Structure 1
Amino acid sequence: MAIPSFAQKASKPVARPKLVVGIVVDQMRYDYLYRYWSKLGSGGFKRLLGQGFSFESCNYNYVPTYTGPGHASIYTGTTPSVNGIIGNNWFERETGKGTYVTDDKTVQSVGGTGGAGQMSPRHMLSTTIGDELRLATNFQSKVIGVCIKDRGSILPAGHAANAAYWYDGANGSFITSTFYQAQLPEWVSRFNAEGRPARYLSKPWDTLLPLAAYTESTADDVPWEITFKGQDKPVFPHDLPALSATPTAAGAQILKTADEEKARPTQNLDLIRWTPFGNSLTTDFALAALQAEQLGQRPGITDMLTISFSSTDYIGHWFGPNSVEAEDTYLRLDQDLARLLTQLDKTVGKGQALVFLTADHGAANAVGFLKEHRLPGGGAGIAPMRDSVQQALTRLHGPGNWVLDFDNLQVYLNRPLLAKKGLELAKVQAEVATLLLAQPGVAQTRTAASLQSAHWSEGTGMLQENGFYGPRSGDVLAVLLPGWLEAYSYPVVKGTTHGASWAYDTHVPLLFWGWHVKHGESVTPVKVVDIAPTVARFLHIQEPSGTSGVPLVEVLK
């Protein structure tokens, strides 16, 4: 075969896909790809696996494994130690109070109520792959983020995005902030006016298949699942019309003005988050964006659409990864993915879109499930841990508000009080590290001083080091034993969570599909931070500014 001459190569434009679609499934463990295999259709997960390339051993290389850090790391190609997104929330020493990962009081809601839209990516300290695509094309490319959660839309879209849209449960609409635009585009207003959330909630949530077919899951009625308010047991069918009849939404903002009060819906539209139809609503909106913004349909320009499916996370937290609810949600998500891939073929063209799918973290098995089967695990009470540290420091050093916050399994000490008492910070950090080791479920502890002065190339030390950003992280960081999880409702532990350093929270799927992707799979260990530099290589553009990952050669061949 003749090798093309330089003249032949130079006369051709740079080869790029028409559209990049990044898909993140919130709280999806790697094993779900195969756990539900026999029930999946041919057009969703199976199509991605059957036609695309799968990295079977993809892990996060930091802790804590939460939604904010996960989305930031996927799209920045680096860890919290660089991008600064150390959690969904953290304590700000400069203000003396906590902050939320996308909180920004300098911007205003656009289409939303209260503070639901006062959000931006200002806390993220490095660029995203979408930012770099915009830079590489002199801002001709469009980059748009879509998710029910604000952080699942804003962080992937990045700083230079054209738009990021998220769901406001108080008014049942997709909204944005003035960080992106002064008003909603007409197509978004039209979509919101259709009232889709109310329609999705107008019918009970029953299983897609006969209940007896859910052989991959536990019994429908088990004691460790959380029950919907208004329901006697956490069992199917979930009567969504009745459950959503109360207009106060679980996660809604408090409405502050008379106009907002008049606009309050007569239905709890926020409930859709805790149903698989939240993913269907997200798909509907993403397809509307694809069409209205002509993504991937403008000659010579590559666009990017980031889509995050969050209902898997809400449902996983409440019912656990072994529930019928979780299985039913993934079977329905499989259908939504098939809808998305089919529309990409029709709108952008077969093989013209580059798609990747991964997850922001995995999930632990519910504590009740583990105990039922005599497996190790438990719930570490957050309030008791904080109180024990506060009481111990009071005994050692006298009265005082020694612990300002305990978040992300990190202790934030009252540094001004330590200075006032003439106590050395590193020594008190070491005392607290020892105190925490005595708490049930704690496997290891490390101090901020040690993380700033030492280096770990493997193990939990490496994971904590990669998740540590000095100006925002705590003074002492703890790691729980395998199977143990943070229990905010201790001693009652229902549902499940994530955030740990173990494989059930770090091992996630990574699939590439579409433009110039050949079918195959690899068991070579790779990291989530490798995704962004791989996409950059596909696009022939600069990788994000803080990238620490490397291009995945096997899929690029």
Structure 2
Amino acid sequence: MRNKPVLTSALITLAATLAMAPATSIAAPAAAPQPVAAAPAPSAAVTTPPRLVIALAMDQFSADLFAEYRSHFTGGLARLASGAVFPAGYQSHAATETCPGHSTLLTGNRPAHTGIIANTWIDQSAARAKKEVYCAEDETRAAADPKDYVASVGHLLVPTLGERMKQQWPAARNVAVSGKDRAALMMGGHVIDQVWWWKNNSFVTLDGRAGNPAAAQENATVAKLLAKGAPALPLPAFCAAREGAVQAGSATVGTGHFALAAGDTTAFRASPRLDQATLDLALKLVDAMKLGKGPAPDMLAVSLSATDYVGHSTGTQGPEMCIQLATVDQALGAFFAALDARGIDYGVVLSADHGGFDMPERQNREAMPQVARAEMALSPKALSEKVAAKLGLPAKGLILGDGTAGDFWVDAALPDAEKTTVVETARAILLAHPQVAAVFTAPEIAATPMPSGSPETWSLIQRARASFYGPRSGDFVVMLKRGVMALPQPGPGYVATHGSPWDYDRRVPILFWRKGMTGFEQPSPVETVDIAPTLSAWINLPAPQGAYDGRCLDLDPGPGSTCGVK
């Protein structure tokens, strides 16, 4: 990767290379058995701290996608897959959305402790007409544009790893870059040297912060691309079988190759070009700040958002996702090669904020006729009307929420006894619906002990408990049955979603890599809250007792341990 990359040509070159790649061949016969080698001695790759910790998040990169495409990766993802591989990582909580998921990655805490219970929640005490609160906003401040908000990390209740590093070593730098504000802020935290995310048509930072030449340079590069536009990306050979139009409401997907019309910022955002620009900005910040070259370890958090945007707008099983993953694999390879060329001693972890599920219309065609969209009867408005009719109450504002599943709130002005009646009436109506798996009240969830043990065995209420924070969570939580997508009406730009308590949304890969380390694969489940304590141990960063919900994962497959005594 060059210091001044030309995004369009770089992507076309990478995709053209992939397009010529043959499909994976049948494995050759096994070689003759070899003598069993002695266990490797601990290497410096796991016994000495790296100078730069890089935490990568690929938004909506499910364990299913990792397994499906793993044999086709030849770039950065292939490099990471040669390290310590945990293919069954878990965002173990129920609210599998972007903000809660990112809040776990570098805090080592579940949403019940980070306070980030969802992307949005209802705060009926908010001193404004709009009671919906975004996880990465300061709702006490009005933006210049009434349709906008003031970005903030104020709702995050715990420190991130980068913040802990700065507290231990004041010379450490904490930097975060993403295609989304909520991703950058949840991974960066409150005390951060540089934080940038994509908004409208450029990378921006927190209100009141000074600009940065690296960001200005990247914005200028992207502006040229947007002004000119770019042709479609070639379809890699192994993606060809995924081609085929599918109708989802008024949207047609399954034939897109990411052509970019001049000035189309929406198409830029939902394409591999956004991830390339994010990595380019990250590299520019590495150079400008000399990350990994200072007297203390530095943190660089990079969240790549395009996989999520592609998943929402076209689903997870079409040619669009295939092109996206093939291209980001090569972009990550170029990013790592650029770091290698700079002689930086870095360690990497890659994971995701949540998984994803393909749109029902394609699933129905591919052996899953039971997959369906949630019915509008489950919406807060429809539920309010049914409950109001039964109890003789006004329907408007009776039950609040932002979808057909997740947290629901009851009008706070009602007396407690009446609120309880509303909740129980709503629960009876919901449980009678064939698409509903469970309904739990706030007192029931609060009384459930915080779960422990292997996350794939947790009950639904335990998954809800890991997402529950009393001051923000709803009066009751609705969980749809497996295969029911909480997106009743698809349309252009939004045909599929995530957010369920089911494993297709909870399971994500967790990959650790450092030059020279001995790789291994551990198929048993671990959690994303294990990442922060693992990285802490890797850089010899002490942590207070009880600082993490997670545990340290030993990255040394030999007799030693990166977590202390084995």
Q: What TM-score comes out, normalization by structure 2 length?
A: 0.82
1:414 aligns with 2:408: no
Cα distance, 1:485 vs structure 2 = 1.1
Against the structure 1 CA distance between its residues 344 and 365, is the aligned structure 2 distance closer, same or farther, given a 3 Å change threshold?
A: same
**1:280: which partner in 2?**
276
In structure 2, what is the Cα distance between the partners aligned to 1:49 and 1:34?
11
**2:242: which partner in 1?**
218
Cα distance, 1:69 vs structure 2 = 0.5
- Which of residues 321, 327, 335 is equivalent to 2:322? 327
Cα distance, 1:478 vs structure 2 = 1.1
1:342 aligns with 2:376: no
* Structure 2: segments with no counterpart, 5+ residues: 1-46, 452-457
Q: Deviations over 1:52-108 (max 9, x none)?
A: 110122112101100000100111111111110011111112216001111125679
Identity %: 27
Q: Deviations over 1:247-268 (max 9, x none)?
A: xxxxxxxxxxxxxxxxxxxx23
Please state whether the residue corresponding to 1:313 is helix, strand or coil.
helix
1:392 aligns with 2:417: no
Cα distance, 1:410 vs structure 2 = 1.8
In structure 2, what is the Cα distance between the partners aligned to 1:476 and 1:117?
27
Contact 2:124/2:131, CA 8 A, preserved across alignment: yes
Against the structure 1 CA distance between its residues 195 and 358, is the aligned structure 2 distance closer, same or farther, given a 3 Å change threshold?
A: closer
Against the structure 1 CA distance between its residues 107 and 166, is the aligned structure 2 distance closer, same or farther, given a 3 Å change threshold?
A: farther
**2:255: which partner in 1?**
235
**1:354: which partner in 2?**
347
1:123 aligns with 2:119: no
Please state whether the residue corresponding to 1:512 is helix, strand or coil.
strand
Q: Deviations over 1:162-203 (max 9, x none)?
A: 12101122xx2211013xx63102332233233456359621
Equivalence map 1:283-302=2 (5 Å): 283-298=279-294, 300-302=295-297
Please state whether the residue corresponding to 1:214 is helix, strand or coil.
helix
- Which of residues 115, 126, 145 is equivalent to 1:84? 115
**2:234: which partner in 1?**
207
Against the structure 1 CA distance between its residues 199 and 428, is the aligned structure 2 distance closer, same or farther, given a 3 Å change threshold?
A: closer
**1:437: which partner in 2?**
431
Cα distance, 1:276 vs structure 2 = 1.1
Cα distance, 1:430 vs structure 2 = 2.6
Please state whether the residue corresponding to 2:472 is helix, strand or coil.
coil
1:450 aligns with 2:450: no
**1:144: which partner in 2?**
175
Against the structure 1 CA distance between its residues 27 and 226, is the aligned structure 2 distance closer, same or farther, given a 3 Å change threshold?
A: farther
Contact 1:367/1:493, CA 8 A, preserved across alignment: no
In structure 1, what is the Cα distance between the partners aligned to 2:490 and 2:245?
22
Equivalence map 1:297-316=2 (5 Å): 297-298=293-294, 300-316=295-311
| Aligned amino acid, residue 291 of structure 1 | D
- Which of residues 87, 92, 98 is equivalent to 1:61? 92
In structure 1, what is the Cα distance between the partners aligned to 2:97 and 2:199?
21
Please state whether the residue corresponding to 2:414 is helix, strand or coil.
helix
Q: Deviations over 1:351-386 (max 9, x none)?
A: x21100001111112111222234222111356432
**1:3: which partner in 2?**
none
RMSD, matched Cα: 2.7
Contact 2:257/2:319, CA 8 A, preserved across alignment: no
| Aligned amino acid, residue 436 of structure 2 | V
Equivalence map 1:362-511=2 (5 Å): 362-375=355-368, 376-381=370-375, 384-400=378-394, 401=396, 402-407=398-403, 409-419=406-416, 423-455=417-449, 457=451, 458-489=458-489, 495-511=495-511
| Aligned amino acid, residue 44 of structure 1 | G
In structure 1, what is the Cα distance between the partners aligned to 2:145 and 2:302?
23
Against the structure 1 CA distance between its residues 482 and 321, is the aligned structure 2 distance closer, same or farther, given a 3 Å change threshold?
A: same
**2:191: which partner in 1?**
160
Contact 1:368/1:494, CA 8 A, preserved across alignment: no
In structure 2, what is the Cα distance between the partners aligned to 1:311 and 1:226?
22
* Structure 1: segments with no counterpart, 5+ residues: 1-13, 245-266
Contact 1:18/1:348, CA 8 A, preserved across alignment: no
Contact 1:44/1:334, CA 8 A, preserved across alignment: yes
Cα distance, 1:492 vs structure 2 = 11
| Aligned amino acid, residue 217 of structure 2 | R
In structure 2, what is the Cα distance between the partners aligned to 1:201 and 1:124?
40
In structure 2, what is the Cα distance between the partners aligned to 1:274 and 1:148?
10
| Aligned amino acid, residue 85 of structure 1 | I
Against the structure 1 CA distance between its residues 553 and 94, is the aligned structure 2 distance closer, same or farther, given a 3 Å change threshold?
A: same
| Aligned amino acid, residue 413 of structure 1 | V
Contact 1:406/1:412, CA 8 A, preserved across alignment: no
Please state whether the residue corresponding to 1:489 is helix, strand or coil.
coil
| Aligned amino acid, residue 163 of structure 1 | Q
**1:32: which partner in 2?**
65
In structure 1, what is the Cα distance between the partners aligned to 2:137 and 2:213?
26
Cα distance, 1:348 vs structure 2 = 4.0
**2:215: which partner in 1?**
188
In structure 1, what is the Cα distance between the partners aligned to 2:133 and 2:211?
27
Please state whether the residue corresponding to 1:478 is helix, strand or coil.
strand
Please state whether the residue corresponding to 1:509 is helix, strand or coil.
strand
**1:547: which partner in 2?**
548
Contact 1:21/1:355, CA 8 A, preserved across alignment: yes
Please state whether the residue corresponding to 2:362 is helix, strand or coil.
helix
Cα distance, 1:542 vs structure 2 = 3.5
Structure 1 residue ranges, 4+ long, deviating more than 4 angstroms after superposition: 105-109, 112-117, 490-494, 554-557
Q: Deviations over 1:101-148 (max 9, x none)?
A: 111256799xx98876721210101111111011110x2111110011
Cα distance, 1:389 vs structure 2 = 2.1
In structure 2, what is the Cα distance between the partners aligned to 1:66 and 1:186?
33
Cα distance, 1:38 vs structure 2 = 4.2
Against the structure 1 CA distance between its residues 197 and 448, is the aligned structure 2 distance closer, same or farther, given a 3 Å change threshold?
A: farther
In structure 2, what is the Cα distance between the partners aligned to 1:197 and 1:515?
36
Against the structure 1 CA distance between its residues 414 and 428, is the aligned structure 2 distance closer, same or farther, given a 3 Å change threshold?
A: same
In structure 2, what is the Cα distance between the partners aligned to 1:200 and 1:33?
34
Contact 1:224/1:493, CA 8 A, preserved across alignment: no
Contact 2:250/2:492, CA 8 A, preserved across alignment: no
